[in-house]
């Protein structure tokens, strides 16, 4: 059990900078997920923590000790790889106990530790098998078992679920969460899948281009993204970004999306947005906050002609165009109209974001992480 601290960590490969000076504090027992598109430096960061890559500059501390110059085996970490990296010629038991055997642990203790890990992961009956006799999910369990038996200070996961099919991935995701709740080892987990990041993490670190875009709880990232990148990366379907102008209409602010289409800004956001009045900005609003009109819910109503309709079962995704920009809305299946029909929508502007197109930053609104009742819940 230990904290992990990254202090201005830089990694250069020849001339290209993969990681450009990141600071990160991970608390003891915390589950932190590094997420971002491929090439954002998340895996490199993890590999530097593991000691598989040298750091070009900066400091990495595990449990208060600077580990920059320590080889992986002396860092007291365990890693789970995307392709499992099980030793093909060893049985599951031998795979899990390899590290302990190298460290010359007594046989009885090795057996006890392996059996305990096998029980946690429900692979007791597989201990005598070899990796090629196991399914993908079972192999991933063994890889986790190999990490657990070492009882390390930190678990490192490098996209462990990417090789599994969609159904198994969801199942193993739950499994990993369960294991963490049981063993409470500090965990750093890398993935490009934002759903994995949101569901597993205590805190998510969104990376892009070798930098940290934002660190926060899943809730914070979803409701109060700090940059356009984070806003677009978290959530599916992705947030709508509509070019707009912040205008003042009879004393109150509104976002003008097109000629004759201006949506009012909630009054509590007025102080934060007032300095930007008159400027060209980008409105960010999630598809789930544009719905069909509902009698009980407040919001800005407007009508648009439907472009594309995608039924998903429990809901229907409806696309329409606003002045050349495609906008996505999530409506109940019964409410969706056929393409070409004019439909009335309701935008829950309490969840709006305004983005400065120059800096690509979301204009800060104090208290924006507060949970609002969504438009689907009748207002009290």
Which residue among 39, 99, 136, 237 contacts other proteins (CB under 8 A)? 99
Q: How far, in Å, are 79, 150, 271, 302, 352 from residue 274 at the CA level?
A: 49, 56, 5, 24, 15
Region at 349 (left for phi over 0; alpha for psi -120 to 50; beta for the rest): alpha
**Spatial CA neighbour of 219 closest among 353, 33, 350, 370:** 370
Between CA 58 and CA 69 the distance in angstroms is 12
Which residues make beta-bridge pairs with 344? 303
Between CA 91 and CA 76 the distance in angstroms is 24
Which residues make beta-bridge pairs with 154? 77, 186
- β-pairing verdict for 186-191 and 154-158: parallel
Give least dist CB 34 to other proteins, A: 18
Q: Which of residues 129-168 bind other proteins (CB under 8 A)?
A: 146, 150
Q: Which of residues 232-291 bind other proteins (CB under 8 A)?
A: none
CB closer to other proteins, 126 vs 149: 149
CB closer to other proteins, 96 vs 118: 96
CB closer to other proteins, 151 vs 238: 151
Which of these segments, 97-105, 122-130, 163-171, 176-184, binds other proteins (CB under 8 A)? 97-105
- β-pairing verdict for 57-62 and 65-66: antiparallel
Give least dist CB 210 to other proteins, A: 22
CB closer to other proteins, 150 vs 203: 150
Any idea what the Cα angle at residue 319 is, between residues 196 and 169, rounded to 5°? 20
Give least dist CB 304 to other proteins, A: 43
CB closer to other proteins, 68 vs 199: 68
Which residue among 8, 103, 119, 342 contacts other proteins (CB under 8 A)? 103
**Spatial CA neighbour of 82 closest among 1, 192, 175, 177:** 192
Give least dist CB 6 to other proteins, A: 19
Give least dist CB 187 to other proteins, A: 15
Q: Which of residues 64-93 bind other proteins (CB under 8 A)?
A: 71-73, 77-79, 81-83, 85-89
CB closer to other proteins, 43 vs 240: 43
Give least dist CB 149 to other proteins, A: 10
Binding mask 40-69 for other proteins (x = CB under 8 A): ----------xxx-----------------
Which residue among 91, 98, 163, 325 contacts other proteins (CB under 8 A)? 98
Give least dist CB 74 to other proteins, A: 8
Number of H helices, E strands in the chain: 9, 21
CB closer to other proteins, 104 vs 167: 104
Written as one string, the DSSP assignment of 252-291 is EEEEEEETTEEEEPPGGGHHHHGGGTT-EEEEEE-GGGEE
Cβ 190 vs Cβ 42: under 8 Å: yes
Give least dist CB 200 to other proteins, A: 21
Query: With CB under 8 A, what is the number of residues at the site for other proteins?
Result: 23
**Spatial CA neighbour of 280 closest among 253, 246, 231:** 246
CB closer to other proteins, 64 vs 71: 71
With residues binned 3-state (H G I as helix, E B as strand, rest as coil), the percentages for the chain, rounded to 5, are 30, 35, 35
φ, ψ for residue 221 (rounded to 5)? Answer: -65, -35
CB closer to other proteins, 46 vs 355: 46
Give least dist CB 15 to other proteins, A: 17
- Positions touching other proteins (CB under 8 A) are 50-52, 71-73, 77-79, 81-83, 85-89, 98-99, 102-103, 146, 150
């Amino acid at each position: 059990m230990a904290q992990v601290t990254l202090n201005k960590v830089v990694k250069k490969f020849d001339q290209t900078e993969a990681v450009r000076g990141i600071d990160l504090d991970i608390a003891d027992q915390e589950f932190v997920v590094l997420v971002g598109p491929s090439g954002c430096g998340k895996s490199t960061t993890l590999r530097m923590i593991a000691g598989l890559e040298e750091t070009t500059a900066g400091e990495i501390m595990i449990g208060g000790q600077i580990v920059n110059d320590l080889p992986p085996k002396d860092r007291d970490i365990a890693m789970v790889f995307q392709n499992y990296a099980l030793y093909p010629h060893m049985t599951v038991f031998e795979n899990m106990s390899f590290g302990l055997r190298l460290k010359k642990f007594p046989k009885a203790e090795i057996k006890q530790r392996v059996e305990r890990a096998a029980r946690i992961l429900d692979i007791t009956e597989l201990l005598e098998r070899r990796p090629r006799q196991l399914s993908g999910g079972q192999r991933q369990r063994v890889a986790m078992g190999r990490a657990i038996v070492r009882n390390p200070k930190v678990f490192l996961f490098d996209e462990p679920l990417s090789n599994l099919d969609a159904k198994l991935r969801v199942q193993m995701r739950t499994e990993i969460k369960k294991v963490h709740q049981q063993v409470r080892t500090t965990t750093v987990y890398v993935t490009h899948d934002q759903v994995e990041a949101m569901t597993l993490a205590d805190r998510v670190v969104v990376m892009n281009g070798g930098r940290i875009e934002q660190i926060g709880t899943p809730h914070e990232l979803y409701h109060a993204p700090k940059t356009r990148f984070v806003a677009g990366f978290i959530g599916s379907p992705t947030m709508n970004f509509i070019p707009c102008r912040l205008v003042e209409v009879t004393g109150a602010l509104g976002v003008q999306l097109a000629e004759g289409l201006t949506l009012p800004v909630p009054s509590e956001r007025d102080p934060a947005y007032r300095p930007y009045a008159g400027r060209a900005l980008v409105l960010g609003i999630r598809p789930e906050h544009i719905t069909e009109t509902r009698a009980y819910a407040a919001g800005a109503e407007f009508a648009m002609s439907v472009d594309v309709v995608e039924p998903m079962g429990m809901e229907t995704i409806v696309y329409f165009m606003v002045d050349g920009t495609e906008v996505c809305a999530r409506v109940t299946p019964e409410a969706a109209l056929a393409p070409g029909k004019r439909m009335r929508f309701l935008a829950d502007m309490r969840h709006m974001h305004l983005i400065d197109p120059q800096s690509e930053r979301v204009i800060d609104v104090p208290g924006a992480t507060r949970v609002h009742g969504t438009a689907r819940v009748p207002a009290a």
